[in-house]
Structure 1
């Protein structure tokens, strides 16, 4: 949303928030509420300027710095946030959360050694701080026997269940790295079981959502493509988590015409605005009844929301939210000129890697091996349906072939994208952009074969194997 003109009245919500700040000028809560509102309507720089004034006005207080750091991190501006983090930990060196947040942004920009130091400072101050242990576990070769002992002890102390989940995932990784695979699997299973009590997965709802798409007909998308006013700038990278999608985005982001924008919530937000998640068949009914003007407006809405995270004027950008596979029909309806890349990895390896990955409390994702197998089959079903509805609109990229013959596969990918090949894309590790996914450190290395960890755990994966074969 653009800034208001000087003679226009602020919206009632904003007026109330500004009145609260005026009435309580030293209230961190009042300033945070106003800053959150400004960010929510796309006026991020205005929110940051407001906080800068408070930082100057109250140099002895840490809350304006803390809110500013949170905004910069949330806006994927980790490099800008680092100086704010440094000021925070200097002003309040005994606050674990500040060190953990600092470590997360250091990891995002690839500063592994300083990130590790920040995470270790966190657990020195708070031994049961799960996010810091998980942060360490995602850095290369950072955990050893003494860390395992410390985490096992922390499990007895921890009270926050979400911190406990992250501790368990970190322990699963650490035990696995040390070759204790049975103990490792036990921790992963315990982590997922606890998460299931807090963030239950709606498998029946997803199955019905996918099934509803069988009502769609090719003519709907042919008409949409004919009337689309949008350029072809959006490149969606979809698929299963842990499929190699971060590597694909890193490759594309090294092209001079493509900006890597990361995992955006723009498309789910547009979908939610038309009630897509209210019940399983709402999205399909809306897709069938949208006028061309309404579809075009939703496409514009998406581009506006995604534009908030753009940092360059490159003509193309990536949206690497894996779960957007659920919304590929919506993409084809409101942005028929957009490209969609479906990244595939061997099903067992991909699903097991997802099982060993922490997903936050806002992510609807399976917590059992059986549900993971069914989830994978729903994903395949959706891809097949949309490919049938709009032939040639989805590009399937196989991760194994990509790492085996990178130049051949990257050339073919750019052929689909109708972009010239750039040799810089063969060296994605040279791109220094911030990365916020669990694969951040892996894709900072040259393109390579990743170890398939599932082989060491096969004796416990029969439920996943059976679910992948069913149906």
Structure 2
């Protein structure tokens, strides 16, 4: 068993060095092939296990990454880099509470290293301990101010709790330290309320004209420049930058639209009316969670802000617990057609246990606004039949183009190609139409355009569905002070505006692939096409 420090990079075997170089160049397929070959010869090589875990994490296979890292720590308990990676993976997987003991062990073994403090602050942020996280960032930056990525993380945390001016200043500090840090430019753009100056635009264009930019910096700058020209109402150059940024990002991810289509097919076949209308004896009857599902950029953050302005509802965040549980209890959806009632009850209870770490008040209801939970609505109903489900929906061209303009930190692989976007939106509508057919009235739909036209009527309908009395604070939701971790954080701190329903229209000449992929889903909006 290896317990001493592991060899440094110059002493790595040739195949591991080549795998590392491939990962640096984002040639994930080559790195994966080299690492799997290495592990076939030596299944207990902790360095190869850690590197393959990083490959798995990069392509979204967090469960595989966790297993590989745990194996690495079994054979090499002193491999602290693997321990740090495991803490990071658990945080990304929505289990930050499990990451904290790992971080404590790192601090005990290696002291308060910069990277470990950064990881602890990020973990605390995921747990909702924003002030504590901010204090760590501030302390580290006071000691080591020339850390552009720390300024970036600090800015993210300040933005989350609404300290916007300080967040902007932090992003500007990151740029001052490293002007080519594309993510800092995009973070400014992502605030929605920031307008780039002529010198800003000139600087970004000059950076893109250079040859030494990484692909990551380049696509972030493309998205930021797209936002700059969008704000100037110049759709042609704006779209050109959005398209370049998306194309570059799309090459870096392994997304297969057919997998979602097939999964929706299997969900429809598995979750029949008979199956969904008999959750089984002795289910988990808690009504605490309110699930807000749908497409990203469809108004889910607005719905969350309205509901969390009510005295009986707590807003949390986009929680990854239901998808994680779906993976842990079997193949989703195939194994859920005959899953025992006791297992469904355990899923409900385990979901409540895991999400409890996100709750900060004694309000009886809380919101989980992970949009991608639309795929797990049948399981949510079976595991938590008294839970509330809200579907936030927005015009398909408006919603999909808003996604195309947005770079997501991780996940949402469908959002970097117009055809992929249209297909994903159509699959989402198709599954929700099936749920409506077999469980009439279970899901309450909030149509964004109707909310804009008549907020009070729509808010009253929403509260009625949740079973809550009307409160004026819900109508004045922008006055509610709370942490908001999504790209819409600043938009929900102001009254509803009509602009969001019309922003796509100047770009319609460029949206042909999106319209084609949407097909009849576009024609029937806000209803769904007839089920086949």
Q: Normalising by the residue count of structure 1, what TM-score does the alignment of the two structures yield?
A: 0.87
2:254 is the alignment partner of 1:200:
yes
Q: Is the 8 A contact 1:221 1:332 kept in 2?
A: yes
Q: Which runs of 5+ in 1 are unaligned?
A: 1-11, 22-26, 277-282
Tell me which of 114, 124, 130 is aligned to 2:176.
Answer: 124
Which residue number in structure 2 is paired with residue 259 of structure 1?
Answer: 314
Which residue number in structure 2 is paired with residue 87 of structure 1?
Answer: 139
What is the Cα deviation at residue 362 of structure 1? 3.6
> Do the aligned partners of residues 392 and 372 (structure 1) sit closer, same or farther apart at CA in structure 2, a change above 3 Å counting?
same
Secondary structure in structure 2 of the residue aligned to 1:79: helix
Which residue number in structure 2 is paired with residue 274 of structure 1?
Answer: 329
Which residue number in structure 1 is paired with residue 407 of structure 2?
Answer: 358
Structure 2 Cα separation of the partners of residues 225 and 202 of structure 1: 35
> Do the aligned partners of residues 151 and 304 (structure 1) sit closer, same or farther apart at CA in structure 2, a change above 3 Å counting?
same
Deviation readout 1:311-343 (Å, 9 max, x if unpaired): 222211111011111111111121111111011
What is the Cα deviation at residue 211 of structure 1? 1.2
Tell me which of 110, 126, 144 is aligned to 2:197.
Answer: 144
> Do the aligned partners of residues 33 and 137 (structure 1) sit closer, same or farther apart at CA in structure 2, a change above 3 Å counting?
closer
Q: Normalising by the residue count of structure 2, what TM-score does the alignment of the two structures yield?
A: 0.78
User: How do 1:222-371 and structure 2 match up within 5 A?
Assistant: 222-224=277-279, 227-276=282-331, 283-371=332-420
Structure 1 Cα separation of the partners of residues 427 and 346 of structure 2: 29
Q: Is the 8 A contact 2:207 2:213 kept in 1?
A: no
**TM-align CA RMSD:** 2.6
Q: Is the 8 A contact 2:84 2:106 kept in 1?
A: no
Structure 2 Cα separation of the partners of residues 111 and 36 of structure 1: 26
Deviation readout 1:356-376 (Å, 9 max, x if unpaired): 111234433242212211211
Which residue number in structure 2 is paired with residue 467 of structure 1?
Answer: 517
Structure 1 Cα separation of the partners of residues 107 and 409 of structure 2: 30
Deviation readout 1:272-299 (Å, 9 max, x if unpaired): 11344xxxxxx23212110100111111
**Number of paired residues?**
445
> Do the aligned partners of residues 402 and 153 (structure 1) sit closer, same or farther apart at CA in structure 2, a change above 3 Å counting?
same
Structure 2 Cα separation of the partners of residues 136 and 470 of structure 1: 37
> Do the aligned partners of residues 18 and 252 (structure 1) sit closer, same or farther apart at CA in structure 2, a change above 3 Å counting?
farther
Structure 2 Cα separation of the partners of residues 148 and 51 of structure 1: 42
Structure 1 Cα separation of the partners of residues 96 and 402 of structure 2: 36
Structure 1 Cα separation of the partners of residues 173 and 419 of structure 2: 38
Q: Is the 8 A contact 1:366 1:372 kept in 2?
A: yes
What is the Cα deviation at residue 44 of structure 1? 5.7
Q: Which runs of 5+ in 2 are unaligned?
A: 1-69, 522-532
Report which structure shows greater RCO (CA 8 Å, sep ≥6): 1
Q: Is the 8 A contact 2:72 2:82 kept in 1?
A: no
Which residue number in structure 2 is paired with residue 8 of structure 1?
Answer: none
Secondary structure in structure 2 of the residue aligned to 1:413: helix
Structure 2 Cα separation of the partners of residues 168 and 77 of structure 1: 33
> Do the aligned partners of residues 142 and 243 (structure 1) sit closer, same or farther apart at CA in structure 2, a change above 3 Å counting?
same
Which residue number in structure 1 is paired with residue 159 of structure 2?
Answer: 107
